Structure 1
Amino acid sequence: MLYTWLRVVRLQHKAVILLPIILTGLVGFSYIKEWVPAWGVALMAFLSTLIPSIAEALDIQTHVHELERLAAEYKALQDRFRRLARITALGDVDEAEQELAELMDRMDTARNTSITPPQRYFESARRQIEGGHYDFAVDLQAEENPSRKKSE
């Protein structure tokens, strides 16, 4: 879900940077005034100055960096929890409990940011998971048959 949201936020961030440049460039061309009414040129000029202010007010840049960090942290935690369940938990119980406590502390730290994606990204992630896009049965098959090539 975070990666889906991150892709959209990155696209919005790029649009916020490029749109004012493009609009300002268009307004600067003298021949654009022949094709576009004066109010259209004024609107483009107004939007080219308004978009950066809106982006600053919404703090879009921070969201991009925060989402990148959180998505990476959750993915790393997912891998570590899976490793704990499949490897560490099969060995020493005390060691497994200690590692679980450390991972739960990291999870609590990641959750403290309280960043909440819009509902549509939850729904999109659910559809992708139910559609089999994120089925970890591949990991189990690779463990059962180590001679199988990863490219298959």
Structure 2
Amino acid sequence: MAEDIRNEDPDTREVTSRRIAEIRVEALRQEENCLYTSTAMYGWLATVKFQHGVVVLAPVILTALAAFSYVRDLIPAWVVALAGLLSTLIPSLAKALDFETHVKELKDAAGEYKSLQDRFRQLANILVYGDVTAAEARMSELMDRLDAVRSKSIVVPQKHFEAAQAKIKGGTYDFSVDMNLRDAAEDGLVPMVARR
């Protein structure tokens, strides 16, 4: 049932408008936060997957190098011995560093941040204009999810964050629909919507 806003107290309307604005701003802030974090994590994940591939393939290659008898004639014996040592040492180090778990945790966290980015954007652009109390509840729920993924304490290396910043600011993640809407707003065809 629709509210009768004609008889609503102006102070109540002002407070409601302020609540809508604050929820929208916070949701947009968290959307941007999740965009930067997920982009940095996906960049880091590519590096970690490459490192994981090296950890899996290096022992095989080093074992093959040490095993071929004709290689012993071409390179010094200490290099062959070192290759044999490294081929047994690398898997042990990978197990000790728990590489598999780190790849999975990073992949899960990056996916959760990307999902939260979309949910915060939907809240800021759609849900906030409905029931304000429901929007506040949704904001609280999303912040709880964000706190849960942050509690994993995955710290992205600075170089990956800087690379993500450059990609985002360079327009890599701008959707054509957003660019078209921005152009239409500049031409006065649709109202301008405040964005980041």
* Structure 1 residue 12 corresponds to structure 2 residue 51: yes
Deviates more, 1:58-67 or 1:125-134: 125-134
Q: Please state how far the C-alpha of 1:19 moved relative to its aligned partner.
A: 0.5
Please, which of 168, 171, 192 is the counterpart of residue 129 of structure 1? 168
Superposition TM-score, scaled by structure 1 size? 0.88
Q: Please state how far the C-alpha of 1:135 moved relative to its aligned partner.
A: 2.8
Partners of 1:42 and 1:80 lie apart in 2 by 55
Per-residue CA deviations over 1:52-95 (Å, capped at 9, x if unaligned) read 12212222111100001001000000001111111111211111
Q: Which runs of 5+ in 2 are unaligned?
A: 1-39, 185-196
Superposition TM-score, scaled by structure 2 size? 0.69
May I ask how many residue pairs the two structures share in their alignment?
A: 144
- Point out the structure with max Rg over C-alpha: 2
Structure 2 residue matching 1:30: 3-state secondary structure = coil
Coordinate RMSD, CA, aligned: 1.7
* Structure 1 residue 96 corresponds to structure 2 residue 142: no
Q: Which runs of 5+ in 1 are unaligned?
A: 146-152
Structure with more relative contact order (C-alpha pairs < 8 Å, separation 6 or more): 2
Please, which of 77, 95, 106 is the counterpart of residue 116 of structure 2? 77
Structure 1 residue matching 2:128: 3-state secondary structure = helix
Percent of aligned pairs sharing the same letter: 53
Per-residue CA deviations over 1:83-115 (Å, capped at 9, x if unaligned) read 111111121111111111110000000000001
Map 1:2-151 → 2, pairs under 5 A: 2-136=41-175, 138-141=176-179
- Structure 1's consecutive aligned runs of 4 or more residues displaced over 6 angstroms after TM superposition are 142-145
Structure 1 residue matching 2:156: 3-state secondary structure = coil
